[in-house]
Amino acid sequence: MSVPNQTADLQLNRAAAGNGSVLRGPILLFFVSGLFWLLIAVALWLLSAFQVTDPFSPLVFPDVAWLTYGRVYPVAMDLLVYGWASMIGVGTAIWILDRMAKNPFPGGYLPLLAGIIWNLGLVFGVWGVLGGGSTGKEWLEFPLYAAFPIWLAEIIMAIWAVALVIGRRSKGGYISQAFLLTAFIAFAWAYGSANGLLQFFKVSGAAEPAIQWWYFGCLISLWLTPLGVGIVYHFVPLLIGRPLYSAKLAAISFWGIVAFGGWTGIAQILGAPLPAWNQTASVVANVLLVIPVLAFATNLHLTMKGSFDVIKPNLALRFLVTGGMVFGLASIWNALTTFRSVNRILEFTWAVTARTDLFLIGFVTLICFGAIYYTLPRLVGRSWKYTRLIQWHFWFSIIALGTLVFDLTIAGVLQGFGQMDPKVPFAAVIDIIRPFLLGYELAAVFIGVSALLGLASFLTVFVNPAWAPDSKEAPEPVINEEVSLA
């Protein structure tokens, strides 16, 4: 099948350069729309944070249906996942898979088509949910006419990815390929079957939440996780110029995530009217998921060993490695809080929101920006000019994340203990966390600022002169000590 020939060699060069690839357009489309949706998501999030903190805020519009908290907040979260994280993840996955496959005909129109349909789906989704068509199921709010296009785009991407890997010219394989392929297939399956069962076949009764939260587990652990982990596995060794430490550890992390990931979701609703064994299995899965995560973290650590000093100047690496570290932290925190003894206190509180945010704003968002900082210059053939800006972006992201997660976790713990005590009236429980809601507002502002900094950095790549692919200098943002201190 893979006879080495002229085309393949040409192809190799094309792929190595990146710049000039047929897939450049689609990848850019995914990147630009991802950033666009990030901004919308963050703006809506900010609005919702102000609304939920203070009912007398001028940002509360009790007469305007589509601007009420119950519509705005879900849209913000959905856009963060399906707009921002998924788009950047898909764009980067296209880049990685294409460069590995070295296929002369990578089907450029398929990802382009998927990108357009996906964006249409998101537009319908925002329109639908704000307009009062929400399904009222967390993370699956999009009505059928929005969910269907998104699902279609996922299917196209899954078919494209599988076809690309099957028809590849290169013989080489790498762990990131396995993660990305799995992500594409699992997400298309999960999103399709959750929306199909709930909205198309209209399953009703207690099976609904089962399907809904099974899907949430897949969304987190079999879509966003493998995307992020695949990206880290791919870029970190390339950035430090050393091989990945261990194939075996990589295998453990892959099979562990695939085996346990799908079971993790039900633990979000422990105590729900679902069979006890479903819930216990989900608790166990959340705990067992720590194994592949530790395998991943260990692999990353041992790969980096001796090169840690690169993290500081190389900003793409800094984002990726920090993201990987936050991922480890988030999983361990997740496992600890899933135990019933802890969960009975924290369930239903802001601490749960913080847990999800740690994953979305910490792990996923950091990785997404790391991926952009790595890929974009190679894609457009320019390198970053204002590394200072990117540095600011990094620190603001960390501050925003820290503020958000600390604030909400403490609020959640207090709220949880308050709720456990029947002598504390419900309104008093909310009074306890009121000051923390101000912190939440502040965190939302920080997140807005870091998103803007990210966007500004993104744009600055276009002001720099061209970068030659065979130059000795790396195109990703690297702090040149003398320049940045000046």
Interface residue list for ligand HEC (CB under 6 A):
52, 69-70, 426-427, 430
20 binds, among other proteins, ligand HEC, none (CB under 5 to 8 A by kind): none
Amino acid identity for residue 473 in this structure: E
287 binds, among other proteins, ligand HEC, none (CB under 5 to 8 A by kind): other proteins
65 binds, among other proteins, ligand HEC, none (CB under 5 to 8 A by kind): other proteins
DSSP 44-90: HHHHHHHHHH-TTSTT--TT-GGGSHHHHHHHHHHIIIIIIIHHHHH
204 binds, among ligand HEC, other proteins, none (CB under 5 to 8 A by kind): other proteins
160 binds, among ligand HEC, other proteins, none (CB under 5 to 8 A by kind): none
CB 50, min distance to other proteins, A: 12
Neighbour tally for 330: CB within 10 Å: 23
CB 316, min distance to other proteins, A: 13
Nearer residue to ligand HEC within complex by CB, 46 or 250 = 46
CB 350, min distance to ligand HEC, A: 12
3-state DSSP assignment of residue 314: strand
Nearer residue to ligand HEC within complex by CB, 123 or 430 = 430
8 binds, among other proteins, ligand HEC, none (CB under 5 to 8 A by kind): other proteins
CB 99, min distance to other proteins, A: 4
Structure tokens at 347: 């369930």
Contact assessment for residue 249 and residue 296, using Cβ atoms and an 8 Å cutoff:
yes
3-state DSSP assignment of residue 382: strand
CB 255, min distance to other proteins, A: 7
CB 63, min distance to other proteins, A: 5
Nearer residue to other proteins within complex by CB, 19 or 86 = 19
CB 399, min distance to other proteins, A: 25
Contact assessment for residue 256 and residue 289, using Cβ atoms and an 8 Å cutoff:
yes
465 binds, among ligand HEC, other proteins, none (CB under 5 to 8 A by kind): none
Q: Which secondary-structure segment (H or E) carries 21?
A: none
CB 416, min distance to ligand HEC, A: 16
Number of residues that make up the chain: 486
Nearer residue to other proteins within complex by CB, 46 or 117 = 46
Nearer residue to ligand HEC within complex by CB, 94 or 444 = 444
CB 461, min distance to other proteins, A: 16
CA distance 310 to 288: 32
The contacts of residue 141 (CB under 8 Å, 6+ apart) are: 74, 75, 78, 125, 129, 134, 135
50 binds, among ligand HEC, other proteins, none (CB under 5 to 8 A by kind): none
Contact assessment for residue 287 and residue 338, using Cβ atoms and an 8 Å cutoff:
yes
CA distance 353 to 407: 11
Structure tokens at 414: 């207090």
244 binds, among other proteins, ligand HEC, none (CB under 5 to 8 A by kind): other proteins
250 binds, among ligand HEC, other proteins, none (CB under 5 to 8 A by kind): other proteins
Maximum pairwise Cα distance, the chain: 79
Nearer residue to ligand HEC within complex by CB, 69 or 348 = 69
Contact assessment for residue 191 and residue 90, using Cβ atoms and an 8 Å cutoff:
no
Where does residue 143 fall: left (phi above 0), alpha (psi -120 to 50 degrees), or beta otherwise?
beta
Nearer residue to ligand HEC within complex by CB, 20 or 70 = 70
Nearer residue to ligand HEC within complex by CB, 353 or 391 = 353
Nearer residue to other proteins within complex by CB, 271 or 435 = 271
CB 235, min distance to other proteins, A: 8
Q: Which long-range contacts (CB under 8 A, 24 or more apart) does 134-140 make?
A: 134/71, 134/74, 135/198, 135/199, 137/198, 137/208, 137/212, 138/74, 138/77, 138/212, 138/216, 139/77, 139/78, 139/81, 139/212, 139/215, 139/216, 139/219, 140/194, 140/195, 140/198, 140/212, 140/215
Nearer residue to other proteins within complex by CB, 116 or 274 = 274
CA distance 211 to 201: 12
CB 212, min distance to ligand HEC, A: 18
CA distances from 180 to 183, 229, 331 (A): 5, 9, 20
DSSP 447-468: HHHHHHHHHHHHHHGGGSPB--
CA distance 212 to 209: 5
483 binds, among other proteins, ligand HEC, none (CB under 5 to 8 A by kind): none
Nearer residue to ligand HEC within complex by CB, 65 or 463 = 65
482 binds, among other proteins, ligand HEC, none (CB under 5 to 8 A by kind): none
Nearer residue to other proteins within complex by CB, 388 or 435 = 435
Rounded to the nearest 10 degrees, how much is the dihedral formed by the CA atoms of 108, 110, 115, 116?
110
CB 88, min distance to ligand HEC, A: 30
